[in-house]
Amino acid sequence: MEAINDFETAACPMPTTNQAPEDAVLADLLASATSIAVVGASPNESRTSHQIATWLMDHTPYEVYLVNPAAPEGEIRGHGFYASLAELPVVPDIVDVFRREEFTPAIATESVVTGAGTLWLQLGVVNEEAMGIARGAGLTGIENRCIKVEYARLRDRIEAARAA
């Protein structure tokens, strides 16, 4: 039984306060954003990245862009896939990452080069090097947080900030 508990802890580390800005800042960031690139989005409906991308399309005002070089012919609700952030027709305000942590430094670098405002590593994804690249270049860095959970939790604050 202890081995299972150790595995679960290692598989998805508990979020800590230094991995995201305080709620007021996070709500303002989510209120001011207009576009999100979902890196690692999957056309497979059973994947979390697919479910979060469709939730963002259905429940937020964001323009959602899907990035996955392995899914060039795929689509989610009429949204095609791009091979990289550089191919997007806009500079994304938020780059929401569904990739293993070892891939995140390169994604952080690409986010900086494209001029994104925030690098967001999904729940369970933590990488100090990626956060250093992003934050060092002036991006907001968020890790080990689910954008859907945070948006739903802060929805009232986000809507109030948009209305102000």
Per-residue pLDDT at 69: 87
Local structure of 74: helix, strand or coil: coil
Could you tell me the fold of the domain covering 15-163?
Rossmann fold (3.40.50)
**Predicted confidence (pLDDT) at residue 1 exceeds the cutoff of 50:** no
How far is it, in rounded angstroms, from Cα 85 to Cα 70? 14
Range 115-135 average pLDDT: 96
pTM for the whole thing?
Answer: 0.89
Q: Vertex 133, ends 128 and 138: CA angle to 5°?
A: 120
Instruction: Please give the distance of CA 137 from its chain centroid, rounded to a whole number.
Output: 18
Beta carbons within 8 Å of 94's beta carbon, 6+ residues apart: 29, 33, 35, 36, 37, 62, 116, 117, 118, 120, 147
Closest to 65 in 3D by CA, of 93, 99, 102: 93
Res. 19 pLDDT band, cuts 50 70 90: confident
pLDDT digits (tens, 9 = 90+) for 67-117: 998 887 888 999 999 999 999 999 999 999 999 999 999 999 999 999 999
Per-residue pLDDT at 118: 98
Give the start-to-end residue ranges of the domains of the chain. Answer: 15-163
> Which ranges in the chain belong to alpha helices (H)?
2-11, 23-32, 48-59, 104-114, 128-136, 147-163
Range 122-137 average pLDDT: 96
